Structure 1
Amino acid sequence: MIKSSTTIALVPQITYGPWIYWHDLEKGMEKASDLGFDAIELFTPASDTIAIDNLKQLLQKFNLELSAVGTGAGKVIHGLTLTDQNPDIRKKAISFISDMISFGAIFGAPAIIGSMQGNVLAGNDREKTLFWLAEALEILGEKAAEAGTFLIYEPLNRYETNLMNTLQAGVEFLEKLKTKHVKLLADLFHMNIEEADMAESIRSAGSYIGHIHFADSNRKAIGLGHTEMDSVAQAIKSINYSGFISAEAFPEPSSDEAALQTIQSFKKYFR
């Protein structure tokens, strides 16, 4: 069964971005539970931001699951990416993500590699940069498997990375890896920019998709932009997707309104 998820950002250095709830973990979880969400996706500064026992108690209290954990704070706070020219920085990036994998795996949740993938920087060799990315995903994919979960790699739009921008590019890259424990994140906002046909891209990627970000063309909650969701929802169901659909969307007009719009849209298309 496809499950709903909303996002909670707990990174003090960030005051705005595509997350529904902010700063107050328990209050965000309470509101998500009251609206009927199945899970939360967390964006935290580090793997030890939240005490494990505390999170376990809160998830049980509000009858929620942990759908995924973001790793973007590694770049935002520490400037770490998996494709930095400096091998020491690449090593630190792998260590940061490895810790996030271990944290999420306690709750059966995968870690997401988005902004920490980095870019091919001006004057750099693309082939070498992609080698560094593959090298890191091989290590981290196996780390996730050992922890009992999988790793999520997210193709981003061209304004955020020049590595992989489409699901097809992501599939082709993953097919070359030895590890079989890395899946793709289908982010509807990024796909709206990059994909010629969002529904067909989802069908083609099929079982490679391990997580979905639910955001409209303007990165607001689904229903507040111009994304044509009927065909997209049909495509998601056609590949027998059974993971989480998580609202990585702006908290507009407010967090509460964005959350309500999201859960109403989720029920419309997936219930």
Structure 2
Amino acid sequence: MIRSSVTISLVNEARGGPFVYWDDFEASCQKAKALGFDAVELFAPKPNAVPAEQLRRVLETHDLKLAAVGTGAGWVIQRLQLCDPDKATRAKAIDFIRSMIDYGGPFGAPAIIGSMQGRAAGAVDRDAALGMLGEALDELGNHARQYETPLIYEPLNRYETNLITTVADGVTLLESISTDNVRLLTDLFHMNIEEADIAAALKTGGKHVGHLHFVDSNRQAAGRGHMDYAPIAAALKEIGYDGYASAEAFAIPSSDEAAQQTINAFRQWFGA
């Protein structure tokens, strides 16, 4: 069964980015639960930004799960990425992601690698960048195994990376590395840009799909753009996807309205 999730950002440097709730973790959880969400996805500036004891208390109080933790603050705040030409800087990027794995892991929440994957540039050509990325995914995917959670890797659109932009290329990357503990994040916004057929791409992803960003074509809440969700829902059912559909969307017209729109769309397409 697909479960619902909504994003909460605590990263001031990402202000205006595609996150539904902002700043107040406990108040956001209270609102998410009132609307009927199953979980929240946390975008935090660093591990323990919400101390583990508080995180556990708030989630238990509101009967919510932690769907995933983002690592993008490593790029937004510290400019760390996995394809940096400097080995020491790459090591710092890996250490930051490892710390986020250790933060979310005890809650059963995988860490997401999106913007921290980096890109080919300057002295680092595409082959070299993919080699660096693959090595990091191997190391971090194996690290996540101790928590019985996968590592989540996100193909991005062409304006955000020049490495992996499609699900098919993501599958090729995952099948080229040693670990079997990395899954793909299929983000409908990025897919709307890069995929000729989103439903077909999801089928290509198949068993490799580990997380879904449930959002519309304009990065607003599902139902506020021109996305056709019927074939997407059918494809997810066909591949047996039973993870989260998480709203990584702009707070337009407001956080509350975006969250309400998302849960309405979730119930329409996933029947819960």
Unaligned residue ranges in structure 1 (runs of 5+) = none
Q: Deviations over 1:201-252 (max 9, x none)?
A: 1011101000000110000001000011111111011111110000000000
Alignment-mate amino acid for residue 215 of structure 2: A
Distance in 2, matches of 1:215 and 1:139, equals 30
Q: What is the match of residue 220 of structure 1?
A: 220
Distance in 1, matches of 2:176 and 2:123, equals 25
Which aligned pairs between 1:197-208 and structure 2 lie closer than 5 A? 197-208=197-208
Alignment-mate amino acid for residue 42 of structure 2: L
The answer to whether the Cα contact below 8 Å between 2:85 and 2:123 also exists between their aligned partners in 1 is no
Unaligned residue ranges in structure 2 (runs of 5+) = none
Alignment-mate amino acid for residue 98 of structure 1: R
Distance in 1, matches of 2:247 and 2:176, equals 30
Q: What is the match of residue 151 of structure 1?
A: 151
Look up the SS of the partner of 2:12 in the other structure. Answer: coil
Q: Deviations over 1:44-73 (max 9, x none)?
A: 001121111111010011010000000000
Q: What is the match of residue 257 of structure 2?
A: 257
Look up the SS of the partner of 1:13 in the other structure. Answer: helix
The two structures have a TM-score, normalised by structure 2, of 0.98
Q: What is the match of residue 130 of structure 1?
A: 130
Distance in 2, matches of 1:265 and 1:239, equals 20
Alignment-mate amino acid for residue 207 of structure 2: S
1:98 aligns with 2:80: no
Alignment-mate amino acid for residue 64 of structure 2: L
Q: What is the match of residue 186 of structure 2?
A: 186
Distance in 1, matches of 2:216 and 2:232, equals 12
Distance in 1, matches of 2:149 and 2:47, equals 16
1:146 Cα deviation (Å)? 2.0
Q: What is the match of residue 141 of structure 1?
A: 141
Q: What is the match of residue 237 of structure 1?
A: 237
Look up the SS of the partner of 1:120 in the other structure. Answer: coil
1:123 Cα deviation (Å)? 4.9
CA RMSD of aligned residues (A): 0.7
Q: What is the match of residue 29 of structure 1?
A: 29
Alignment-mate amino acid for residue 169 of structure 2: A
The answer to whether the Cα contact below 8 Å between 2:214 and 2:245 also exists between their aligned partners in 1 is yes
Which aligned pairs between 1:161-180 and structure 2 lie closer than 5 A? 161-180=161-180
Alignment-mate amino acid for residue 62 of structure 2: F
The number of aligned residues is 271
Distance in 1, matches of 2:123 and 2:176, equals 25
Worse-superposed segment, 178-187 or 116-125: 116-125
The answer to whether the Cα contact below 8 Å between 2:83 and 2:124 also exists between their aligned partners in 1 is no
